[in-house]
Amino acid sequence: MSLKVPKSNNLQLFKDGYKMSSGIEDAVLRNIQAVSELSDLVRTSFGPNGRNKLIINHLGKMFVTSDAATIIREMEVVHPAAKILVMSSQAQESEMGDSTNLVLILAGELLKKAENLLVLGLHPSEVISGYELACEKALAELESLSVHKLSRPFSRESLILALKPAIASKQYGSEDALAALVAEAALNIMPSNPLNFNVDNVRVVKIMGGGLSQSKVVRGMVFGREPEGIIKKAQNAKVAVYTCGIDISQTETKGTVLLRNADEMLNFTKGEEKNMEKIFKEIADSGVKVIVAGSGVGELAMHYLDRLSIAVVKVLSKFDLRRLCRVIGATPLARLGPPTPEEAGSVDVMECVEIGGDRVTVFRQEADGTGEKSRTATIVLRGATQNVLDDMERAVDDGVNVIKALVKDERLVPGAGATELELARRVEAYGSSLKGLNQHAAKRYAMALEIVPITLAENAGLEVTEVLSRLYAKHEQANGKAWGVDIEKENDGTLDTVPHQIYDSLAAKTWAIRLATDAAVTVLRVDSIIVSKAAGGPKVPQQSGNWDED
């Protein structure tokens, strides 16, 4: 009979207020549960038939969108394990700008499948090993699934072909019009070396009223306000950009002025006025026809500028001011005075136009015979409500980021869940060839990849089991790797994506699978959660309801 030594529960390892949970039940399974909730939340917003979420953030601003990046950004997730998924999704957003939802639902499904294995008794290290091997196999097989490659230089038709599936997942039914706008804007600013393509050069201006058919692309920049003075238009104009206020300079200290008679009172401001008139005369003599002000414009300054026929545009955003300087080739000046020839910019047309009752200022660079491209293109979006416009802007942003991905890698793979199903089939066969316990994890990885066609079918209202079995039957055929889910339900719930031209970016898919696997493996590696006590002193006592009574 062995002697049992009682354990002491009073070991003081951490300061008071710390919380610690460890082990499979307390740490790993609870983390998986939290991640699954986040994954299930965004799953219903996946694909063209994905439903919108209505989110009101901590500032009271309302969002109605199916864009996963926006949903998780405004939700403020606090659970540490779920935050790992959020960070992976944000990495996908910054790297590719698309497939953020795929990262969330695939990582969530990988962890759900891992939960079953952990409950059966597998060690987390065996599950991690199987997942990593399966991920390597999936990425290797993905390289061979490319069915289309865009030719350089990019044409309008080829860009629209690649953009439509990405935009349809956000704005189903409007993808033709939006893809055409994004393709036109991107080609307007495409540099001679496409690798230098900058997504920041495609701007969006939202103007309420009208419909999507009235949207258009402007070569140059559009600002949602009209010029300040009476001059509303200038052509082939020299432009000066000032970050300082265009007004009489104010002294830092207050002073007292003693006026002895009426003449002194009348002549009090004449010196300042003459000095200001001299400055603006010098600016006009240097050939400047347009002034862009990054701060306020005084009434007296406006009077002189109107007399000298100089247009004044206020741009209060320093980011927009920086972009405008890039478009017109100007240097922003912190002092009031005539610009040197190197500091001044030029614009072909500066005009004030009316769009749907709103007056906006357009800085436009006209196309010339030399093939010189504009440095910035602006998509003017029209829509019925602010929420619709915001969601269309997110779809445009996704489209521009897809072009950034295509510039690096022009290869496209079948969309509509066809690629994931083919990868699931091949990884399943690879898992069966493994000898150790990690083969179970590799097979579960293959099952997790099926979540993409399953979710597309669920969100379209199809019978999931039937659609999945038909897809597997068609993928078993010699050239059946391009069959995906038909969300329009015209056939038996399946369609060949190649003749329908439904493609996804191979680069975006590669990053999504890698990031989702890394996030799932990171969560599985955690075996203890240690939460420290919140910083700060004691809480301020609340005042009683009748504090103001005697």
**392 shares its domain with 462:** no
With the C-alpha atoms ordered 93, 98, 99, 101, is the resulting torsion angle positive or negative? positive
3-state secondary structure of 62: strand
H-only helix segments in 349-460: 386-408, 418-433, 438-449, 451-459
- Find all residues with CB under 8 Å of 212, minimum gap 6, and list them: 174, 177, 178, 381, 382, 383, 392
Three-class DSSP category at 44: coil
Spatial separation of the C-alpha atoms in residues 29 and 23, rounded to whole Å: 9
> At 263, which amino acid appears?
D
With respect to residue 202, please indicate whether it lies within any of the assigned structural domains: no
Distance CA 431, CA 438 (A): 8
Q: Are residues 238 and 348 in the same domain?
A: yes
Instruction: Indicate whether 342 and 440 sit together in one domain.
Output: no
Return the H-helix or E-strand segment holding 519. Answer: helix 506-525
Same domain, 441 and 403: no
Tell me how far apart the alpha carbons of residues 180 and 174 are, in angstroms, rounded to a whole number. 10
What is the C-alpha to C-alpha distance for residues 376 and 379, in angstroms, rounded to an integer? 10
Which residues on neighbouring strands pair with residue 265, listed in sequence order? none
Full residue range of the structural domain in which residue 257 is found: 217-408
Residues 251 and 313 reside in one and the same domain: yes
Residue 191 lies in a domain: no
User: Which of 368, 324, 361 minimizes the C-alpha distance to 346?
Assistant: 324
- 12 found inside a domain: no
The amino acid at 508: A
Which residues, 6+ apart, have CB-to-CB distance to 77 below 8 Å? 38, 83, 86
Query: Are residues 295 and 399 both part of a single domain?
Result: yes
Measure the CA–CA gap between 401 and 393, rounded to whole angstroms.
12
Q: Considering the domain boundaries, does residue 414 fall inside one?
A: no
Residue 350 lies in a domain: yes
| Residue 538 covered by a domain | no
Q: Is residue 473 part of a domain?
A: yes
Instruction: Report the CATH number at residue 84.
Output: 1.10.560.10
The DSSP call for residue 337 is S
- If you ran DSSP here, which 8-state letter would residue 490 be given? S
- Please indicate, yes or no, whether residues 491 and 394 belong to a single structural domain of this protein: no
Q: Which residues contact 352 (CB under 8 A, 6 or more apart)?
A: 226, 227, 232, 233, 359, 360, 361, 362
Measured between alpha carbons, how far is residue 315 from residues 97, 231, 330, 472 in Å? 28, 16, 14, 57
User: What are 538's two structure tokens?
Assistant: 């004691």
Closest residue by Cα to residue 345 from 383, 375, 389: 375
Q: Which two tokens stand for residue 220?
A: 């140059």
Per-residue tens of pLDDT for the chain, all 550 residues:
456 555 544 456 666 556 666 656 667 777 788 888 888 888 888 878 878 888 887 788 888 888 777 888 887 777 778 888 888 888 887 777 777 888 888 888 888 888 888 877 788 788 888 888 888 888 888 888 877 777 777 777 878 888 888 888 777 877 788 888 888 888 877 777 777 777 777 888 888 877 788 788 877 778 877 778 787 777 887 888 888 777 766 666 667 777 777 777 777 667 677 777 788 788 788 888 888 887 777 777 787 777 888 888 888 877 878 888 877 777 888 877 777 878 888 888 888 877 777 788 888 776 554 444 567 788 888 888 888 888 888 888 888 888 888 888 788 888 788 888 888 888 888 888 878 787 888 888 888 888 888 888 888 777 878 888 888 887 777 566 778 787 777 666 677 777 777 788 888 888 888 888 888 888 888 777 666 666 665 665 655 555 555 4
Note whether 94 and 34 are same-domain residues.
Answer: yes
Residue whose C-alpha is closest to residue 31's, from 495, 526, 549: 526
Looking up residue 239, the CATH number of its domain turns out to be 3.50.7.10
Pairing of strands 311-314, 288-293: parallel
Does the residue 185 lie in any domain? Answer: no
Tell whether 459 and 403 lie within a shared domain: no
Residues 6+ apart with CB under 8 A from 253: none
- The number of domains in the chain is 2
Pair 317, 454 in one domain: no
User: Shortest CA distance to 201 belongs to which of 365, 361, 3?
Assistant: 365
Please check whether residues 138 and 260 belong to one and the same domain.
no
Q: Are residues 253 and 396 in the same domain?
A: yes
Query: How far apart are the C-alpha atoms of 411 and 62, rounded to whole Å?
Result: 38
